[in-house]
Each structure stands twice: as structure tokens, then as C-alpha cells.
Amino acid sequence: MSVQYTPVLWNRNKIIYDAVLLIAIALYLYVYIRVAPGFEDVTKPIDGAVLRMRAFGSCAFLMLTMILCIGPLARLDRRFLPLLYNRRHFGVMTAGIAAVHANYVLGWYFNFSPTDRYVALLSSNTSYGQILGFPFEALGIGALLILFVLAATSHDFWLSFLGAPLWKALHMSIYFAYAAVVLHVALGALQGPGDPIITSVVTASVVLVCGLHFATGRMEAARERGEATARASLQEAGWVIAGEVDEIDEDCAKVVTLAEEERVAIFKYDGKLSAITNACAHQNGPLGEGKVLWGCITCPWHGYQYNLADGRAPEPFTEKISTYRLKLIGSTVLLDPKALPPGTHVEPVILGEGA
């Protein structure tokens, strides 16, 4: 295989996340199926199968709404980040709940059909040319298929196998699934007696999802304008754009060539960035090709080591090399091209604290 399989490693946070999620789902279904019917003022109680169908369907819809809200919430407030880290588990559970809903639909409406129930589902209503009476079931099937694909490709194996751009593009299709579900519910409601609760829930969901994404978009736009201003100001002061953080691999360097053929190695290590001259003090070996160990870079030619924060060799050695100042604006790394005296300490740039 072209990609090595890596098993999922469970930790305490993942276990707690999944446990809380499962308990919340179970409580919602219990209240919907067992408690809520007692408050209905109806002559004929809703059939148990229909109640379970609606319970699982509404649960899947609310879960999908929450999934789409987690991303913007985490950007607006970092306290929501723990919800983001295990969002894939949330998605897999949503696909499972949606599948149970679909199974109840098939069992209730098409189980006693003389034709195959899947064929009956797709052929019972083909009025695609009208809004009232539109076969909303097709939208639900489309959304369910998308959720299945996303659940099946949620593991990091597929992220490595497909590559980040393709994997990300594939998982952006969750927005198509959400739109299909909204239309599925809305068009289905048009074909039955009016239910103000369903209308209110769907409307609130759409407003919430769109509102959070709009607020996040405005925040990101303001941040980008601020970053552009900061970059322009630093460039006017003589700083140069060295590239993006993602261009530098962990415990490796990106080598930037300045005027007069001076080369600077920018290292990413332990969640930090530091810049030193690329030339070893011994015989000008390429430090940017070396290996980072315990905060020191080891020259690949003869093993000379230097602390990345101050360019000094560990005691008892006395070699020193030049260091450089860095700034992180958003995800852009800027470099002050003026070399500092050899052995000058420079505070590393902490990733995640860009302006």
C-alpha cells in the first residue's frame, strides 16, 4: 500500500468526548420517544414507529447543525477548540443516526410493498417538476450518501492517501448534505399538516449556521486586513517575507537567500520558529540540512551543534553564529535581513501567537 495504516489511538479526552455525545443522543431520543408524547394534546397518539422515525431524523438534523457550527465557533472563541478536535467522531455518529432514521422510513412506508422497497422508494413519486409534491425523499437519500462517504473517509489514512487538498474538498461536501437535509425537511413539511415546531427548528438552524459563518467571515476579513497592514509596515522597515509556516516541516528548516548571497535557515521545532545563518562556524557546512535535537541544530558535515535561540554551541564549546529576528503575521513568516552579532539571544516565535 502507498500509505501506512495508523490505528486510532484513544485517549482520555476522546473517550470523554464520545461518552458525553452518546449520553446526549440517548437522552434526546428518550425524551422525544418516551417523555414528549405525554404532553401532546391529540385524540390519536402518534404511532411508535413514526415517533422513532421522527426522533432519529430530528436528532440527525440537530447533530448536523452542531457539526457545522463547531468550526466557526472555534474560530470566534478558542474555548470551543476541544469540540473541534474530535469532530470526526461527531460526524460518524451523525451518519449512523441518519441511517437508523432511513431504516425506519423504509420499514414503515415500504416494508409491505409488492416491489422491492428501495425501488418503491425511488419510483413512488417522480414529480420533480413541481415544488408542492416534490419527491423530497431523493434529497434525503443524497444527503445520507454524502454522510456515508464522509464517515468512511474520516480516518487519517484517507487524509494521507488522498492528500490534504482533495480530502478537504471532499469533506466540504457536508454543506451540500446540509442543504439537501434542509430541503428534505422543508419540502416534506409542505406535504403534511403544518407543524410550527419543525418550521421554527429548521429556520433557527439555517439562521444559526449562516449567521456564525458570516460572523467568522467578517472576523477573518478584518484579521487579513490587519495582517496585510502589518506586513506592509514591516516590509517598509526592511523586513522580507520568508514564506508560510506550512512550508516548513517540523524539526526542519527553510533556507532563504538574502542579498549578497547571505543564506538564512528558519527552523520549526517544538511549536517555535528560530532563524540562524545557514553557514556553520567550522567549515561553512549547510546548517539548514541538519537535524534538530533538544533545541540545537547539528551540522550535517561534522556534527557541530548550535542552540537555535542564541546561535551558541553547547558548553564547553565556544563557537557562535549569527541569529536573526522573525515575526509571524497570521501564517506568514517575516525575516529581518540584518544579522545580529554571533551568539545574540533572540526569543523564538511561538506558533499560534501570530499578530
Q: What is the pLDDT of residues 184-221, one digit of tens each?
A: 988 876 666 667 788 889 999 999 999 999 999 998 88
* Dihedral sign for Cα atoms in the order 257, 263, 267, 272: negative
Peptide bond preceding 165 in cis form (omega within 30 of 0): no
Which range marks the domain in which residue 84 is found?
12-223
Regarding whether 309 and 240 lie in a shared domain, the answer is yes
Regarding whether 238 and 217 lie in a shared domain, the answer is no
Regarding whether 238 and 328 lie in a shared domain, the answer is yes
User: How far, in Å, CA of 159 to CA of 169, rounded?
Assistant: 11
Regarding whether 237 and 112 lie in a shared domain, the answer is no
Query: In this model, does residue 251 exceed pLDDT 50?
Result: yes
Regarding whether 159 and 267 lie in a shared domain, the answer is no
Regarding whether 175 and 205 lie in a shared domain, the answer is yes
Regarding whether 185 and 92 lie in a shared domain, the answer is yes
Highest mean pLDDT among 61-65, 137-141, 266-270: 61-65
Final residue belonging to a domain, choices 200, 223, 246: 223
Give pTM, 2 decimals: 0.68
Final residue belonging to a domain, choices 223, 256, 282: 223
Q: How confident is the model at residue 338 (pLDDT cuts 50, 70, 90)?
A: confident
Domain assignment present for residue 30? The answer is yes
pLDDT digit string (tens) for 47-103? Answer: 778 889 989 999 999 999 999 999 999 888 878 888 887 788 899 999 999 999 998
- What is the pLDDT, as a whole number, of residue 137? 85
- What is the pLDDT, as a whole number, of residue 95? 95
Regarding whether 134 and 36 lie in a shared domain, the answer is yes
Highest mean pLDDT among 64-68, 261-265, 312-316: 64-68
Regarding whether 177 and 59 lie in a shared domain, the answer is yes
In the chain, the number of structural domains is: 2
The DSSP bridge partners found for residue 257 are 263
> What is the share, in percent, of the chain residues with pLDDT greater than 70?
90
Domain assignment present for residue 212? The answer is yes
Contact call for residues 91 and 68 (beta carbons, < 8 A): no
Regarding whether 340 and 194 lie in a shared domain, the answer is no
Query: In this model, does residue 2 exceed pLDDT 50?
Result: no
